[in-house]
């Protein structure tokens, strides 16, 4: 612990964060060998104890093992593989050209770890969103404190048990708990805070970070719109939309929140949506293992309050004791409906009718910048208008959600949907400081040309 930051303990006598900092200060996390050993150990944890994680995900979110693997454990193993493949080149100092006025001189950018990272995760992809940022933190040579979400208690407890079994306990720890524990953690000094969750808590995180001038990455959410017109194949589009929306019961930060379409397109699309729901989840999604559950009763009740029975054209069935809400489509939805105010984060898909693509773009521009924007159209001029005239974390044509599995695509928000982006090399960048290192030989002493007395210069 540096002298300028007196230790503030989580609880009296709890010096866990101070011990992690001492471990970082000792230099143990910096060598390439430590980083690769930790990444490989993390990969082993996901492989050997994948079943325990899948069981915990099933208990918390009703996710089946295949979905848990695709969206959490296998996803992370692919990210680890990508990182191990590129880490040496990411760590290599980059040569920087020097201006004539400084020559002869040598300039390099040397990536160095920031220090101790705090990673705070939410409950919806509770494994991926805690360990994904950790891959970047380890790759960049940092120590880390992991705070899983208390809202997914089975995953939190399983990670708290597994992480110490596989990873370096001196440098990487899990602190479980809710608001009180997170508040106590946020009083400590960290060198980076990586927060994934809602915008209200993001403000709390930023305020706490400001006390120590700690940089933050905020991975937030919001209402991600989806525009669809009649230039695309409706059956394929419907299948892609249904998968993206009802995966994890709609509790996905990049799920299409609502659809924008002309009334004519909405009418054509509706039977395709109904068919696609049947194709993916059968006639009885409740008893289909591929269909998950709402995280808890509170969220279930919040979601049911958003369903206007008069607008419910598909689904609507529910059993709150079983945390079940059927894949549900609302049409026509209006901008001032309750369901159109905040991010839905559940299996409810409102369709808002607009007159044309101009009105759709105006609708999107009038609202907060979303985490993702989806446009299902093969009209190239219109695609270019979406690129030029809208702003979002990502813009994706003709599919949704799966864009975040491309490790070289930075994943993050803009404006209200967050700041900073990660995955692949971007994760390494987030947790690194790229330190300029310059050196100039003593001879010839070219700098003398710019030293005073300046009179000599004006005479020249």
Q: How far is the CB of 211 from ligand NAD (least distance, A)?
A: 14
Residue 343 is a binding residue for ligand NAD (CB under 6 A): yes
Burial class of 330 by CB neighbour count within 10 A (0 to 12, 13 to 18, 19+): buried
| Cα 282 to Cα 398: distance, rounded to the nearest angstrom | 24
Residue numbers 121-140 binding ligand NAD by CB under 6 A: 121-124, 129
Q: How far is the CB of 155 from ligand NAD (least distance, A)?
A: 11
Nearer to ligand NAD, 316 or 412 (CB): 412
Q: How far is the CB of 279 from ligand NAD (least distance, A)?
A: 27
219 is catalytic: yes
Nearer to ligand NAD, 217 or 390 (CB): 217
Nearer to ligand NAD, 272 or 423 (CB): 423
| Cα 186 to Cα 203: distance, rounded to the nearest angstrom | 12
Residue numbers 145-164 binding ligand NAD by CB under 6 A: 147, 149-151
From 253, 279, 312, 389, the catalytic residue: 253
Q: How far is the CB of 297 from ligand NAD (least distance, A)?
A: 15
* Vertex 346 angle, CA 246 and 355, to 5°: 80
Nearer to ligand NAD, 26 or 211 (CB): 211
Task: Give the H/E segment covering residue 412.
Answer: strand 411-412
* Vertex 129 angle, CA 125 and 135, to 5°: 140
**Contact track, ligand NAD, 365-404, x by CB under 6 A:** ------x---------------------------------
Residue 190 is a binding residue for ligand NAD (CB under 6 A): no
Among 10, 61, 114, 253, binds ligand NAD (CB under 6 A): 253
Among 68, 196, 262, 426, binds ligand NAD (CB under 6 A): 196
The dihedral through the CA atoms of 129, 399, 313, 260 has a sign that is positive
| Cα 106 to Cα 94: distance, rounded to the nearest angstrom | 11
CB 31 within 8 A of CB 159: no
Residue numbers 198-217 binding ligand NAD by CB under 6 A: 198, 201, 204
How many residues sit in the footprint of ligand NAD (CB under 6 A)?
28
Q: Cβ of 379: how many Cβ atoms within 10 Å?
A: 14
Among 50, 221, 256, 300, binds ligand NAD (CB under 6 A): 221
Residue 193 neighbours by CB under 8 Å, 6+ apart: 117, 118, 120, 186, 205, 208, 209, 214, 215, 216, 217
Token pair of 303 as six digits: 């979601």
Nearer to ligand NAD, 120 or 353 (CB): 120
Position of minimal CB gap to ligand NAD = 221
Longest dimension (CA), the chain: 91
Q: How far is the CB of 63 from ligand NAD (least distance, A)?
A: 14
Residue 453 neighbours by CB under 8 Å, 6+ apart: none
Give phi and psi for 325, each to the nearest 5. Answer: -135, 125
| Cα 73 to Cα 131: distance, rounded to the nearest angstrom | 9
Nearer to ligand NAD, 221 or 315 (CB): 221
Nearer to ligand NAD, 265 or 306 (CB): 306
From 79, 219, 249, 343, the catalytic residue: 219
DSSP-derived secondary structure letter, 338: G
Residue numbers 406-425 binding ligand NAD by CB under 6 A: 413, 418
Q: How far is the CB of 261 from ligand NAD (least distance, A)?
A: 23
For 167-234, give the DSSP string. S-TTTEEE---SHHHHHHHHHS--SEEEEES-HHHHHHHHHHHHHTT--EEEE-----EEEE-TTS-H
Residue 71 is a binding residue for ligand NAD (CB under 6 A): no
Nearer to ligand NAD, 120 or 172 (CB): 120
Q: How far is the CB of 150 from ligand NAD (least distance, A)?
A: 5
Active site residues: 219, 253
Q: Note the residues at the interface with ligand NAD (CB under 6 A).
A: 120-124, 129, 147, 149-151, 178-179, 182-183, 196-198, 201, 204, 219-221, 253, 343, 345, 371, 413, 418
């Amino acid at each position: 612990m540096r002298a300028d930051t007196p230790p503030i303990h989580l609880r009296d006598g709890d010096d866990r964060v101070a011990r992690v900092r001492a471990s970082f200060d000792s230099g143990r996390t910096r060598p390439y060998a430590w980083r690769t050993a930790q990444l490989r150990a993390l990969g082993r944890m996901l492989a050997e104890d994948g079943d325990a994680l899948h069981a915990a995900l099933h208990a918390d979110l009703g996710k089946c093992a295949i979905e848990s693997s695709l969206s959490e454990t296998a996803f992370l193993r692919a990210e680890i593989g990508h990182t191990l493949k590129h880490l040496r080149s990411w760590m290599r100092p980059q040569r920087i050209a020097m201006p004539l006025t400084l020559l002869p001189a040598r300039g390099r950018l040397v990536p160095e770890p920031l220090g101790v990272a705090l990673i705070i995760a939410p409950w919806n992809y509770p494994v991926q969103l805690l360990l994904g940022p950790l891959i970047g933190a380890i790759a960049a040579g940092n120590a880390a404190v992991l705070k899983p979400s208390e809202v997914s208690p089975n995953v939190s407890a399983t990670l708290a048990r597994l992480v110490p079994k596989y990873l370096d306990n001196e440098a990487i720890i899990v602190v479980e708990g809710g608001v009180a524990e997170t508040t106590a953690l946020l009083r400590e000094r960290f060198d980076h805070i990586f927060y994934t969750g809602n915008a209200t808590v993001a403000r709390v995180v930023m305020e706490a970070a400001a006390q120590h001038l700690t940089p933050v990455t905020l991975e937030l959410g919001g209402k991600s719109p989806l525009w669809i017109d009649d230039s695309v194949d409706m059956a394929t589009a419907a299948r892609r939309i249904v998968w993206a929306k009802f995966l994890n019961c709609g509790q996905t930060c990049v799920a299409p929140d609502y659809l924008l379409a002309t009334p004519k397109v909405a009418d054509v699309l509706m039977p395709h949506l109904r068919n696609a729901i049947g194709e993916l989840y059968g006639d009885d999604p409740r008893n289909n293992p591929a269909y998950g559950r709402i995280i808890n009763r509170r969220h279930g009740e919040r979601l049911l309050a958003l369903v206007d029975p008069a607008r419910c054209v598909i689904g609507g069935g529910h059993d709150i004791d079983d945390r079940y809400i059927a894949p549900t489509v609302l049409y026509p939805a209006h901008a001032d409906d309750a369901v159109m105010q905040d991010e839905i984060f559940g299996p409810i898909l409102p369709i808002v009718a607009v007159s044309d693509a101009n009105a759709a773009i105006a609708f999107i521009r009038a609202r907060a910048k979303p985490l993702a924007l989806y446009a299902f159209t093969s009209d190239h001029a219109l695609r270019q208008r979406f690129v030029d005239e809208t702003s979002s974390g990502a813009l994706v044509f003709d599919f949704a959600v799966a864009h975040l599995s491309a490790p070289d695509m930075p994943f993050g928000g803009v404006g209200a949907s967050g700041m900073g982006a990660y995955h692949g090399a971007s994760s390494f960048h987030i947790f690194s400081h790229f330190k300029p290192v310059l050196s100039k030989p003593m001879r010839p002493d070219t700098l003398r040309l710019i030293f005073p007395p300046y009179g000599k210069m004006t005479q020249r």
